[in-house]
Amino acid sequence: MSALVTILDDEPAIREMLADALEEAGFRTLSFGRATEFEAALRRATPDVCLVDLGLPDRDGLSLVHRLALEQGATIIIISGRAQVQDRVTGLELGADDYIIKPFDPAEVVARIRARLRSPRPTSSGETARFNGWTAHFDRYALEDETGAETPFSHAEGEVLRLFLESPKRLISRAFMQEKLGGAAGESFDRAMDVRISRLRTKLREDPKNPRLIKTIYGAGYIFLGDVDWSG
C-alpha cells in the first residue's frame, strides 16, 4: 500500500494543491484545516508523513509538532510562512524532520517526502537495542534506563540513534549521515544533526562538556563508544 501523507493547513488552496501533487505522485492523502480534526483522525489512521503548518487557527503548530514527535512514528515536515532562522531551529529542536518555507513548489514537497521515505530501513534484526545500561525501544520510541524509567525520543532523534547503534566505535562522518538520513547537505542539515545529537545526549544524561557515549571528532564527525546488543 502506498504511503499515507496527512496535510494540516488552514488554507484550502494549499491543501488542495498539495493533495493533487501528492496523489499524482502515488501517495494517499488526508487533509485537515484545524488541529482538532487532525488529532481526531490520528486515532483512526496512522500516517507515514505529517505535513504541518505552524499558523493554525485552533492550536499552536509548534506544540503540535512536539507532541507528534513524541507520540507518532511518522516523519514530520513543517510547512510555514515563518522564514526566520529561529523558527526553523525551534521546529527541529521540537522533533520535526524537515522545514519548508512558503511559498513553495509542490514538486519540492514531493521530492522531500520521497527523500525521507527512501531512508534505508534498519539492517539490524530487532527493534530493541541494549547499550551501557540503556535499552532503546524503536517500536515505541523510548529510552529505558536501568530502573525501568522511560524517556521518549522523536522519530528524527531515533533515526540518528539507530545510525549510531548500528555502527558503534566507527567514525560516522557528516557526509555519511546525510547519505543515510536524506536531506540536502549544507548548513541547515548540519544544524539539524547538531540539534538531534544534543537532544540525544541530554536524554542519555551525558555531560555536555565530556560526553561518554557520543563523541564529537571535530572536523570529521562522531563516534558512538557504547557496547551494543541487538539480541532483543
Contact 188, 85 (CB under 8 A): no
User: What grid cell was written down for 182?
Assistant: 536524506
What confidence tier does 121 reach under pLDDT thresholds 50, 70, 90?
A: very low
Contact 190, 174 (CB under 8 A): yes
Strand, coil or helix: what is 75? strand
Provide the whole-model pTM. Answer: 0.59
128 forms beta bridges with 137
How, if at all, do strands 49-53 and 98-101 pair?
A: unpaired
Contact 53, 87 (CB under 8 A): no
Inform me whether the pLDDT recorded for 73 exceeds 70: no
State the burial class of residue 155 (Cβ atoms within 10 Å of its Cβ: 0-12, 13-18, 19+): buried
Average pLDDT of the chain is 85
Alpha carbon 72 to its chain's center? 10
Contact 125, 230 (CB under 8 A): yes
Inform me whether the pLDDT recorded for 122 exceeds 50: no
Residues 6+ apart with CB under 8 A from 175: 185
Q: Average pLDDT in the 38-55 region? A: 89
pLDDT digits over 171-221, tens only?
Answer: 898 888 888 876 655 666 777 788 888 889 999 999 888 899 999 888 888
